[in-house]
Structure 1
Amino acid sequence: MNFHTRKWVRPGDLNPNATLFGGRLLEWIDEEAALYTIVQLENKHVVTKFISEINFINAPRQGDIIEIGIEAVTFGRTSITLRCEVRNKLTREDILSIAKITMVNLGEDGKPVEHGKTKIEYVSDRVNS
């Protein structure tokens, strides 16, 4: 799994327990999943359809640096299913895991459309082909 995105837990991200608010972390994950999908499917029109059980393992605190990892699991006809792990950048302590996030490829009309992808591609693969 590649961990590309890092976030710094700041005072405005905290809940009343002085730990990272779960909703803020889910916002960051949803954004990262969308960006990953846009790059993979080469289409900026994507939406989140499904997020499976969210397993909160440890709670980050103010000042922690976390990193979000996203990985493609399967490619559907109009969708891509991802998995996600979040960990503490410095300690490598697990923070959260999500087994499935399904993102759907949309056409200009906002309806699901086939994307034609079957495997992970990297920008270098597209440039050299």
Structure 2
Amino acid sequence: MAKGKQRKEALSPITDPETAGYFRSYRRIIMYEDLNSASTLFGGRLASWIDEGSAIFASCQMNARRIVTRKISELVFHRPAKLGDMLEIWCKVLRKGSTSITIGVIVSRRSFADDPARAKNPDSAEICRCEIVFVCLDEKGQPKVWNA
């Protein structure tokens, strides 16, 4: 980079047209306890983070505290994430039902310029994507209309 020129902030929103309209709802740094026996991110750990990050987003969209995960679509991992990578979970409302909401989720891996393994391309890369359906519940645990 030429002297005097500033690099864009490393954490700016994804600008890929495919992800337009998504909002970052969650971030995590991958630590040793998050790794599997192959020294990459354990898929079950990522699934938990996806559920939590998208639930935070859905709660805000529904303005409701009592929501439950009804369905998580197929989760296909496109590439690994490794120790020290930052994961960003991006969410977008896909559909609104009277008692439910469907959230589109994209997980990206952000690596940094000082990572020797990824120094040539320190930008983000998509790890996986899925859809999650959340249902709003009343005090008795029954589906409740939220989108009147």
Q: TM-score range by the shorter chain?
A: 0.7 to 0.9
Mapped to 2, the partners of 1:116 and 1:68 lie a distance apart of 24
TM-score of the superposed pair, with normalisation by structure 1: 0.86
Match of 1:58 in 2: 79
Identity of aligned residues (%): 34
Q: Which of the two has greater strand per residue?
A: 1
How far apart are 1:89 and its partner, in Å? Answer: 2.2
Moved over 2 A (4+): none
Is 1:110 equivalent to 2:141 in the alignment?
yes
Larger gyration radius, structure 1 or structure 2: 2
SS of 1:48's partner is strand
1:62-101 equivalences under 5 Å are 62-90=83-111, 91-98=123-130, 100-101=131-132
TM-score of the superposed pair, with normalisation by structure 2: 0.75
Mapped to 2, the partners of 1:9 and 1:87 lie a distance apart of 12
1:2-41 equivalences under 5 Å are 2-41=23-62
Counterpart residue type for residue 95 of structure 1: I
How far apart are 1:79 and its partner, in Å? Answer: 0.1
Unaligned runs of at least 5 residues, structure 2: 1-21, 112-122
**Number of corresponding residues:** 116
> Superposition RMSD on alpha carbons, in Å?
1.0
Mapped to 1, the partners of 2:23 and 2:87 lie a distance apart of 13
Counterpart residue type for residue 111 of structure 1: Q
Mapped to 1, the partners of 2:147 and 2:85 lie a distance apart of 39
